[in-house]
Amino acid sequence: MGGEGNENFEKDIVLLALLVLLVSTAAFIAVRRTETVYSLDPSLIGKRVTVQGKIVHRINANGVWIAFLDTGASKIKLVSFSGEPSNKTSFTGRVAEYKGDLELVIGE
Amino acid sequence: MNELDILLGVFIGVVTGIIPGLHVNLLIPFLGNTILLLGIAVSHTFFDFIPSLFLGVPDEGSAVASLPGHRLVMKGDGIKAFRATAISGFLSSLLFVLFLPLAYSILRSRLVVLVLVVLVFSLVLFSSRSIGVSIGLALASAGLFYLFDGYLSSTAMFVAFFSGLFGIPTLINAFVSDSRIPEQVDGIPRVRISFAFLASFLGLIAGLLPGITSSMTGLVADLKTEMEDMARVFLLGGINTVYLLSSFLAIWIIGRPRSGVAIALEGHGITLIPALFVAVSSSFLLAWFIGPWIARIYARLVNRTTNLVVMTIVSGIVISQGGYAFLLFLASSSLGIIAYYLRIRRTVCMSFIILPVILNYFL
């Protein structure tokens, strides 16, 4: 392939594209691992997600804090809740299934 | 949602991109809000230049490029032109991130938005050499737009209008004159970093301003009449891709998405940003390695029969949008043929999109 451009140009631009592909794929995987969700559904079981919402209620069951979060779209139950400030609106953890309901296990 | 969905979308986008007259928005009802759609949309902006260059049948984004691009194809430089659009699409996508803060500060003012819209409108209309006929064509297009408003979705309207205005006149002319595409020579086009910057800025503005399409900002290329066709195509390749990226980022800059695909994918949030760059870089690599091969096949296939087949496909796509879409297609084809044979730039007809935006600001 001849041409009026720089002869090394083809190699450079292809390498640059591969680099961008690598970096953006890594970023995509990292972001997706903590994707923000507004309601939990079964497809999220096992995934690490961030839930945005406010704590409406919390209880201590045998030393484990359980909180109920209202996202506007649904109510989500958090276990192993470490008692962060009640005005916090973003919680990250892994989605688990518990007695038929979905809940977010914080801190795993 | 996973990385493979994006890559699968990029492969599907190659197919949708090379089908003349097919708009990505037509796929939304079938694919919903899957990330597959993002891959298709990005890849489509790279590959839709092939029908635009070789057949003169563009879609919304590549419309302005179809005219200088077709001239390059007739000189045997079609593959170089395609490589130019791919390089520009990739580099401009990397550079446009630099303009995001500037765009954010500019577009916060409604007055600035209005001034920019009027400027682009004036550029579209008054850069034509026969102002009287151009205004007539622009008004006729605006009339068609209002006549069919409410009867057609915006996607159906764009598909019918652009296919008729830009695709049919070129296809009819190629059919009548039985023009053959000469042997295409491969090569690396001259890379113009300054044009990649300009494409980034113009694509960003087009993606964020109401009523402005990527083709309209591409008319900036017409301001400099001595600009080479290859340079124009390079500029337009970048604008086309950045326009799509901006339409996604518009949700964070102006508070709402600005394209059908961006609206469909709005729920994916911040994940879209790295996903866009996965799609851009993989689309560029595909365009670089398999694009010239597809372009060569295209070049060999173009003759009277394929022109007729393409006219049938384009008409079929329009008819699938309903009877009103076909009526609009017939009307816009007539306008396009008039403009083509009177040698009036058909892009003046696109000013019909800006008129309602300006009226909304004043009334």
Q: In chain A, which residue's Cα lies nearest the Cα of B1? A: A32
pLDDT band at A1 (very low <50, low <70, confident <90, very high): very low
Compare B267 and A1 and report the one with higher pLDDT.
B267
Q: Examine the domain organization and report whether A41 and A87 are in the same domain.
A: yes
Instruction: Please list the residues that pair with A60 across neighbouring strands.
Output: A65
Q: How much is the pLDDT for A86? A: 58
Contact B26, B261 (CB under 8 A): no
Within this chain, do residues A60 and A27 fall inside the same structural domain, yes or no?
no
B91 pLDDT tier (thresholds 50, 70, 90): very high
Which of A10, A28, A33 to mutate to probe the B interface, most B CBs <10 Å?
Answer: A28
Q: Are residues A29 and A52 in the same domain?
A: no
pLDDT at A50 over 90: no
Range of the domain at A98: 35-106
| Nearest CB partner across the interface for A1, out of B187, B191, B275 | B187
Confidence of residue B187 (pLDDT cuts 50, 70, 90): confident
Distance from CA of A59 to the nearest CA of B (A): 32
CA-to-CA distance for B37 and B24, rounded, in angstroms? 8
Chain A residues whose beta carbon lies within 8 Å of the beta carbon of residue B2? 32
Shared domain check, A46 and A25:
no
Q: Domain check: are A98 and A72 in the same one?
A: yes
Confidence tier at A82 by pLDDT (50, 70, 90): low
A85 and A64 within one domain? yes
Per residue in B287-296, pLDDT tens? 999 999 999 9
Regarding whether A83 and A68 lie in a shared domain, the answer is yes
**Cα–Cα dist A108/B100, whole Å:** 36
Structure token digits, residue A54 = 């406010």
Same structural domain, A69 and A94:
yes
Same domain, yes or no: A42 and A88: yes
Segment A77-83 shows an average pLDDT of: 66
Claim to verify: residue A56 and residue A24 sit in the same structural domain: no
CATH number at residue A67: 2.40.50.140
pLDDT above 70 (res B219): no
> Given CB atoms, is B164 within the 8 Å cutoff of chain A?
no
* Confidence band of A23 (pLDDT split at 50, 70, 90): very high
Q: What is the model's pTM?
A: 0.73
Q: Mean pLDDT across chain A, nearest whole number?
A: 73
Whether residue A29 lies within 8 A of chain B, CB to CB, comes out as yes
Helix segments in chain B, DSSP class H: 3-18, 28-31, 36-47, 49-54, 66-74, 78-95, 100-106, 110-126, 131-148, 154-162, 168-177, 193-208, 214-218, 220-223, 229-253, 260-264, 272-301, 304-319, 323-342, 354-362
**Would the CB atoms of A3 and B281 count as touching at under 8 Å?**
no
Q: What is the ipTM metric for this complex?
A: 0.73
Q: Which is higher by pLDDT, B64 or A60? A: A60
Q: State how far residue A86 is from chain B, nearest Cα, in angstroms.
A: 25
Give the pairing of strands A75-79 and A101-106: parallel
Same domain, A28 and A49: no
Q: Is the pLDDT of residue A2 over 50?
A: no
Q: For B240-271, write each residue's pLDDT tens digit.
A: 899 888 888 777 776 666 677 777 776 666 77
- Mean pLDDT for chain B overall: 79
Please tell me which of A9-18, B153-162, B178-187 the model is most confident about, judged by mean pLDDT.
Answer: A9-18
Domain identity same for A23 and A62: no
pLDDT score of A53 more than 50? yes
Number of independent structural domains in chain A: 2
pLDDT of residue B177: 72
